[in-house]
Amino acid sequence: MLASVMAPLWACILVAAGILATDTHHPRDSAVYHLSKQLLQKYHKEVRPVYNWTKATTVYLDLFVHAILDVDAENQILKTSVWYWEVWNDEFLSWNSSLFDEIREISLPLSAIWAPDIIINEFVDIERSPDLPYVYVNSSGTIENSKPIQVVSACSLDTYAFPFDVQNCSLTFKSILHTVEDVDLAFLRSPEDIKHDKKVFLNDSEWELLSVSSTYSILQSSAGGFAQIQFNVVMRRHPLVYVVSLLIPNIFLMLVDLGSFYVPPNCQARIVFKTSVLVGYTVFRVNMSNQVPRSVGSTPLIGHFFSICMAFLVLSLAKSIVLVKFLHDERRGGQEQPFVCLRGDTSADRPRVEPRAQRAVVTESLFYGEHPAQPGTLKEIWSQLQCINNYLQTQDQTDQQEAEWLVLLSRFDRLLFRSYLFMLGLYTITLCSLWALWGGV
């Protein structure tokens, strides 16, 4: 009776014990815990992890350019997003995987182990990267530390060929404290593989990544030699948006201004036309000023072109204003000159006419017998003829001077037009050449 009652009870106890044993027994987790505890129990992160202190620790570096975030030509700053890899061997963190349930790789806190003091020489701002507190360590002691970094670095940016410019910015990695006898650097991949690797680059920005060349060198200083690896990020700008928004409208305005040279130079409508073009060009320059990079070291070629075009516009407008004003003053001065050779009431009775019309009136009066009521002597007639002759000579001199000014300014106008046309053609050829060179990079 008792045995029949206890049998189900023992069965329940055994099942419960089995469940508890299943819930609390994790052989792999237990092995990882004991392995981590054994590796870090007597570990000192302040000591470089080598048994023989004369042996250098080699740090293998690799770099993947992920994106070009900003190129600030005014402040000579480049902002990029990169994936950075460090691999080195820690002799104090190796184990026999057969003794720890065949565990060949674990993750350990980066803050608990020794890490190389690698920096970027061109850093000008605090690096921005997500906090990745763990690194992978395998059974042979090899540590892999990879993280994305937003690098803000100094770079010598040359914008002379804008928008067909190609930039070359360097990122130099080196140990800040350890000489090459303690910490050496090497490539994780071959330089050729690094140079042409664009698989992670986001090619949807203003810049296109051309290559990432790399070199190894030793920097000698008074403290000793420091190993360094330099990655040269070569990139070029996509120019199409600037060609459409800057160059084509600017060339179109210049062609419109060239058309104004076909308007007669002594026409006041030319001044109105050129003033309208100058106002339009000024508004265009103000609106597009933010698109042209400003740099203390170099001015873009199109900036020089814009300034020269503005100078041609102002010079041509000023010449037209001076010419029209001069001709207007000459004509007004000729109209205001009194004709006093005839009888006093004759000039008062006649309406004011143009100089050429006055000549016709004087000639008509001589041929048709219009003369003073009282017959004069030959001496009086001769004096009147001399006066008329002097007046006609004065008008001829005025007309000749006006014609000479017109010829002189017409020659200057042709010279300005040819210079304008030559400069515009030269600039167009230069831009096409820069575009061809840009395409051949």
CA gap 95, 38 in Å, rounded: 10
CATH code, 291: 1.20.58.390
Q: Which residue has the higher pLDDT, 7 or 380?
A: 380
Is the confidence at residue 320, as pLDDT, over 60? yes
Q: Which residue has the higher pLDDT, 415 or 116?
A: 116
Q: What is the pLDDT of residue 304?
A: 83
Is the confidence at residue 171, as pLDDT, over 90? yes
Q: What is the pLDDT of residue 3?
A: 46
Residue with tokens 């051949």: 440
And the tokens for 244? 């459409």
Domain check: are 273 and 137 in the same one?
no
Q: What is the pTM of this model?
A: 0.72
Taking only the tens place, the pLDDT of each residue in 216-264 is 999 998 888 999 999 999 999 998 888 888 888 888 888 888 888 887 7
Cβ-based neighbours of 242, under 8 Å, separated by 6 or more: 162, 163, 291
- How much is the mean pLDDT over the chain? 79
Domain check: are 149 and 288 in the same one?
no
Q: What is the largest CA-CA distance in the chain?
A: 181
CA gap 113, 40 in Å, rounded: 8
Burial of 27-50, coded b for 16+ CB within 10 Å and e otherwise, reads eeeebbeebbeebeeebeeeebbb
Domain check: are 179 and 249 in the same one?
no
Instruction: State the pairing for strand pair 57-72/118-120.
Output: unpaired
Domain check: are 59 and 139 in the same one?
yes
Final residue before a domain boundary, out of 169, 203, 237: 237
CA gap 280, 260 in Å, rounded: 14
- Confidence category of residue 432, pLDDT binned at 50, 70, 90: confident
Among 226-235, 259-268, 374-383, 423-432, name the most confident range. Answer: 226-235
- Between the CA of residue 196 and those of 143, 155, 231, 234, what are the distances in Å? 26, 21, 12, 11
Is-contact 137 108, C-beta < 8 A? yes
Taking only the tens place, the pLDDT of each residue in 23-34 is 455 544 578 888
Is the confidence at residue 131, as pLDDT, over 50? yes
Final residue before a domain boundary, out of 237, 271, 304: 237
Q: Which residue has the higher pLDDT, 332 or 131?
A: 131
The verdict on residue 295 lying in a domain is yes
Domain check: are 171 and 135 in the same one?
yes
The verdict on residue 40 lying in a domain is yes
Domain check: are 174 and 294 in the same one?
no
Q: Which residue has the higher pLDDT, 3 or 83?
A: 83
The verdict on residue 397 lying in a domain is no
Give the residue-averaged pLDDT of 67-95: 92
Domain check: are 124 and 200 in the same one?
yes
3-state secondary structure of 114: coil
Give the residue-averaged pLDDT of 94-102: 89
Domains in the chain: how many in total? 2
Domain check: are 224 and 260 in the same one?
no
Domain check: are 308 and 191 in the same one?
no
Is the confidence at residue 349, as pLDDT, over 70? no
Is-contact 322 270, C-beta < 8 A? no
The verdict on residue 140 lying in a domain is yes
- Sheet containing 134-138: give its strands across: 105-109, 134-138, 142-154, 77-89, 57-72, 183-187
The verdict on residue 383 lying in a domain is no
Is the confidence at residue 14, as pLDDT, over 80? no
3-state secondary structure of 41: helix
Handedness of CA 115, 121, 127, 129 (dihedral sign): negative
Domain check: are 182 and 282 in the same one?
no
> Which of 34-43, 94-103, 183-192, 309-318 is the least confident region?
309-318
Domain check: are 63 and 178 in the same one?
yes
- Confidence category of residue 352, pLDDT binned at 50, 70, 90: very low
Q: pLDDT above 70 covers what percent of the chain?
A: 78
The verdict on residue 407 lying in a domain is no
CATH code, 199: 2.70.170.10
Domain check: are 199 and 157 in the same one?
yes
Final residue before a domain boundary, out of 237, 255, 280: 237
Q: What is the pLDDT of residue 330?
A: 53
244 phi/psi in degrees, rounded to 5? -75, -40
The verdict on residue 265 lying in a domain is yes
The verdict on residue 105 lying in a domain is yes
Among 111-125, 278-292, 418-432, name the most confident range. Answer: 111-125
151 phi/psi in degrees, rounded to 5? -95, 125
And the tokens for 210? 């051309």
Q: What is the pLDDT of residue 65?
A: 94
Is-contact 414 306, C-beta < 8 A? no
The candidate with the shortest Cα–Cα distance to 230, out of 241, 251, 214, 245, is 214
330: domain range? 242-336+416-440
- Confidence category of residue 346, pLDDT binned at 50, 70, 90: very low
The candidate with the shortest Cα–Cα distance to 384, out of 367, 402, 360, 362, is 362
SS3 content of the chain, % helix, strand, coil (to 5): 50, 25, 30
Is the confidence at residue 196, as pLDDT, over 70? yes
Q: What is the pLDDT of residue 354?
A: 45
Q: What is the pLDDT of residue 441?
A: 64
Other beta carbons within 10 angstroms of residue 373's beta carbon come to 6
Taking only the tens place, the pLDDT of each residue in 353-364 is 444 444 444 444
Cβ-based neighbours of 218, under 8 Å, separated by 6 or more: 180, 225, 226, 227, 228
Other beta carbons within 10 angstroms of residue 335's beta carbon come to 12
Among 47-56, 239-248, 260-269, 403-412, name the most confident range. Answer: 47-56
- Confidence category of residue 329, pLDDT binned at 50, 70, 90: low
Is-contact 361 378, C-beta < 8 A? no
